[in-house]
């Protein structure tokens, strides 16, 4: 998160934000396609489109605005990033490359990867050549991340990976993952974990897609059978993967909450399918713009978006200056998840029958609302559930007593648990 500190210190040497913004505005109008349904499109064909959109940003000199210049970024400030994001609002952008590849995984690489790892991967990511995912959750449970059962046993210059990860978004079309695995069973659970760079498509890794309630096949489960991972793929220190995982989760909460400095374009936590203007258009089109209850709901939706924007700004700035501790990312994440849920309910209430059936050829709002409704709880789980965010806020920001845990100080080998899940 300190990647742009250097840039901020030499801000007077950088292109002024207003000039950068004007240049970006002109380039975007010439170079990027207008936004249609890319924001909610989770079909198989979308990933290649996103890779090419990212490549276009890179060719135009607008990729990786806050990434270090040494690794292919622009080394500019969060103010430049905010200006670009504001101008990019009407355009199709590599939304799912933003999260998780850029906002979470690449951000974590910036913080913890070695110089060689950064040189190898960050420029490729910024060109849209590499998609990354997180291999964190396991079939035995995702909230207790430190209870990870996937193991990596050292054998000379390699680690042998065995186990299973689950709920990894779009792993089947991605290239690399940051994977948390247990490397030491003789210490308490948080102290025996290591983070690895894992090439997804290689011998010993089996990726299976999972069908979701909305029909999409984004989620995957991976099975590792004696996968040899070079020791040079360790990110951070051996047995200190918890430090890397904690930072990764902070980046995730910021990215999902809308406060990442590493992503360009609308964030996932900013209203289902652009509720705002589409909602007003739909209400007007249905002739109910004069109805008092309808107006209240439209206003509530608008206020949720306004408050969300201000909250993101305040917390991001607070974290940037050090006035707020990194766990403050949970405030944005929790707000984003709860307001998304409420906005989905408002959208569904106002949509009438549109999400159930929509005439062919009409704008895709009904279809978007249907998908948003079915997947509306996703943000309340992905990146840590709402309950976990509340735990973090109470314990790490408000200083309330820690949740009781019987397994925190004993060697993980002695912790009672279920068997490692196998196929």
Ligand X SMILES: Cc1cc2nc3c(=O)[nH]c(=O)nc-3n(C[C@H](O)[C@H](O)[C@H](O)COP(=O)(O)OP(=O)(O)OC[C@H]3O[C@@H](n4cnc5c(N)ncnc54)[C@H](O)[C@@H]3O)c2cc1C
Residue 107 lies near ligand X (rule: CB under 6 A): no
SS3 of 115, please? helix
Residue 137 lies near ligand X (rule: CB under 6 A): yes
Residue 338 lies near ligand X (rule: CB under 6 A): no
Binding window for ligand X (CB under 6 A); candidates: 89-97, 140-148, 183-191, 320-328: 140-148
Residue 101 lies near ligand X (rule: CB under 6 A): no
According to CB under 6 A, which one of 101, 384, 389, 392 is a site residue for ligand X? 384
Binding window for ligand X (CB under 6 A); candidates: 65-73, 129-137, 198-206, 253-261: 129-137
Residue 168 lies near ligand X (rule: CB under 6 A): yes
- Residues 256 and 417: their CA atoms lie apart, in Å, by 31
- Residues 421 and 211: their CA atoms lie apart, in Å, by 20
What single-letter DSSP state applies at residue 421? P
Applying the rule CB under 6 A, the residues between 253 and 282 that interact with ligand X are none
Residue 381 lies near ligand X (rule: CB under 6 A): yes
Residue 75 lies near ligand X (rule: CB under 6 A): no
SS3 of 159, please? strand
What single-letter DSSP state applies at residue 376? T
- Residues 229 and 238: their CA atoms lie apart, in Å, by 13
Binding window for ligand X (CB under 6 A); candidates: 11-19, 132-140, 186-194, 354-362: 132-140
- Residues 107 and 247: their CA atoms lie apart, in Å, by 9
Q: CB nearer to ligand X: give 42 or 51.
A: 42
Q: Match 């909460």 to its residue by tokens.
A: 253
State the number of binding residues for ligand X (CB under 6 A): 22
- Total residue length of the chain: 423
- Residues 329 and 336: their CA atoms lie apart, in Å, by 11
According to CB under 6 A, which one of 60, 68, 141, 421 is a site residue for ligand X? 141
| Residue 258 backbone dihedrals phi, psi, to 5 degrees | 100, 15
According to CB under 6 A, which one of 136, 255, 297, 312 is a site residue for ligand X? 136
Residue 147 lies near ligand X (rule: CB under 6 A): no
Q: Which two tokens stand for residue 11?
A: 């801000």
- Residues 22 and 206: their CA atoms lie apart, in Å, by 47
Binding positions for ligand X, rule: CB under 6 A: 100, 133-137, 141-143, 165, 167-169, 378, 381-382, 384-385, 387-388, 391, 403
């Amino acid at each position: 998160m300190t990647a742009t500190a250097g840039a901020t210190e030499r801000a007077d040497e950088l292109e002024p934000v207003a000039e950068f913004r004007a240049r970006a505005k002109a380039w975007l109008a010439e170079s990027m396609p207008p936004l249609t349904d890319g924001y909610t499109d989770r079909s198989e064909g979308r990933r290649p489109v996103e890779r090419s959109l990212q490549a276009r940003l890179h060719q135009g000199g607008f990729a990786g605005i806050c990434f270090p210049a040494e690794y292919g970024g622009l080394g500019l400030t969060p103010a430049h990033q905010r200006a670009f994001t504001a101008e990019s609002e009407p355009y199709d952008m590599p939304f799912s490359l933003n999260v998780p590849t850029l906002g979470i995984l690449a951000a974590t690489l910036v913080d913890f990867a070695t110089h060689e790892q950064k040189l190898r991967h960050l420029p490729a990511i910024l060109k849209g050549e590499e998609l990354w995912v997180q291999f964190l959750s396991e079939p035995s449970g995702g909230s207790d991340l430190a209870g990870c059962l996937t193991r990596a046993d050292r054998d000379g210059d390699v680690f042998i990976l065995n186990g299973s990860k689950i709920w990894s978004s779009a792993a089947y079309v991605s290239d690399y993952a940051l994977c948390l695995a247990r490397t030491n069973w003789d210490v308490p659970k948080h102290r025996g974990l290591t983070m690895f760079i894992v090439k997804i498509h290689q011998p010993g890794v089996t990726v299976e897609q999972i069908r979701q309630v909305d029909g999409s096949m984004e989620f995957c489960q991976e099975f590792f059978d004696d996968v040899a991972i070079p020791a040079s793929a360790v990110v951070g220190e051996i047995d200190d993967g918890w430090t890397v995982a904690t930072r990764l989760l902070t980046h995730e909460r910021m990215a999902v909450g809308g406060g990442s400095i590493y992503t360009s374009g609308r964030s996932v936590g900013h209203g289902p399918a652009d509720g705002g203007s589409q909602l007003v258009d739909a209400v007007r089109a249905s002739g109910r713009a004069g109805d008092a209850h309808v107006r209240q709901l439209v206003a509530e939706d608008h206020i949720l978006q306004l408050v969300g924007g201000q909250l993101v700004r305040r917390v991001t700035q607070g974290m940037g200056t050090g006035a707020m501790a990194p766990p403050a990312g949970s405030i944005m994440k929790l707000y984003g998840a709860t307001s998304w849920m409420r906005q989905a309910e408002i959208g569904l209430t106002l949509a009438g029958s549109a999400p159930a059936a929509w005439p062919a050829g009409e704008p895709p709002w009904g279809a978007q609302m249907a998908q948003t409704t079915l997947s509306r709880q996703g943000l309340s789980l992905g990146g840590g559930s709402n309950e976990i965010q509340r735990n973090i806020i109470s314990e790490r920001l408000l200083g309330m007593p820690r949740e009781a845990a019987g397994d925190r100080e004993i060697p993980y080998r002695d912790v009672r648990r279920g068997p490692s899940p196998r196929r």
